[in-house]
Amino acid sequence: MGLLSVSNDLWKGPEPNFFMKGGNGKMRKKRVSKAVLVTGVLVLALLAHQSHAYDLAEYYPLTQGFLWQYRETEDGHQEYRTEYIEGYEEVQGVTTVKRLELDGEYECLLFDPVQGLLEYKDCEPWWGYELYDPPLNYLPAQMDVGETHSGSSTATMFDPSGQPAGTATIDYSVTLEGVESIRVSAGYFYECLRFSITDSWDSGEQGKEEGQGTSWLAKGVGLVKEEWTAT
C-alpha cells in the first residue's frame, strides 16, 4: 500500500445555521492508498505550559447547529469539506449525536463526562457502516500536556443492506504534546491543544493499515488543523 499524506485546515466555522454554496475534521483513521501532497501549518507561538488538566469537551463541541468548513489538500489539489451537527441516533441503546457531511456520511458521537469522546458508529451510505465495540475513545474527558491515552476496539462492518461484511481490530494512541497558537485559513486561534495520534486497522486477510498524524483543537471550536500520513 502506498503512502498517504493529507492536510486539513479550518476554512470557516463553527457557525450555527451557516449557508454554504456547494461543498474533515475528524480525529480518527484515514484508510486510503494513494500518495498526496501535505501542506504545512504555520505555528506562531509555543506557549509556556503549566501543569493543567484540560477539559476536552470544551475542545470538541457537539452543539446542535454547529457547522465547520475545511479546506483539504490532497494529491496536489484542494477541495472543501463541510461537517455539521444535526440530529440524534440511538446506537447500542445509547442516544448519540450525529456529525454529518454533505455527501451523507456521518458519525454517531457522544461526549461522556467520565470517559470522554466516544464514537459508536461510522456510516457511509454508498458503502455501508461500522459499529465499534467498545466505542472508539480517541479523547479522554481530561488530559494534561505530556499524557498519553490509548485504546482498542473491534469494528464490525455492514454492507448497505445491513448484512455483516467483516470485522477489524483498531488500536490507537493519542498524546497531548503541547499548547500552541496557530493560523489557518479561518484565522488565528489561540492556545490550541496539539495532539499526536497513531492508529492501526487490522482486518486479518485483507491486511493491516497504520497511520499517524497531528491534530490541533481550539477551545469552543474543535478541530482547526490536521496532518495525517497512512500506509
Interval 77-106: pLDDT, tens: 888 999 999 999 999 999 999 999 999 999
The residues facing 9 across adjacent strands are 71, 225
Choose the most confident range, by mean pLDDT, from 23-32, 42-51, 66-75: 66-75
DSSP string, 139-183: E-SEE-TT-EEEEEEEEEEE-TTS-EEEEEEEEEEEEEEEEEEEE
Average pLDDT for the chain: 83
Backbone angles phi, psi at 211, to 5 degrees: -145, 160
Q: Which residue has the cell 484515514?
A: 30
Rounded to whole angstroms, how far apart are CA atoms 116 and 78? 32
pLDDT at position 204, please? 83
For the cut 70, the answer to whether the pLDDT of residue 224 exceeds it is yes
Query: Within 13 Å and on the Cβ side, how many CA atoms surround 103?
Result: 10
Residue-wise pLDDT for 111-120, tens only, equals 999 999 999 9
Residue-wise pLDDT for 3-38, tens only, equals 444 566 666 656 443 322 222 455 544 443 222 223
Q: Name the strand (E) or helix (H) holding 72.
A: strand 67-74
More confident residue, 76 or 66: 66
Percentage of the chain with pLDDT > 70? 77
pLDDT at position 52, please? 78
Position 76 confidence tier, pLDDT thresholds 50, 70, 90: confident
Q: Are strands 42-46 and 77-91 parallel, antiparallel or unpaired?
A: unpaired
pLDDT at position 27, please? 53
**pTM of the shown model:** 0.82
pLDDT at position 77, please? 80
pLDDT at position 118, please? 98
Residue-wise pLDDT for 162-172, tens only, equals 999 999 999 99
pLDDT at position 215, please? 97
Position 147 confidence tier, pLDDT thresholds 50, 70, 90: very high
pLDDT at position 205, please? 75
Rounded to whole angstroms, how far apart are CA atoms 1 and 204? 15
The residues facing 200 across adjacent strands are 171, 210
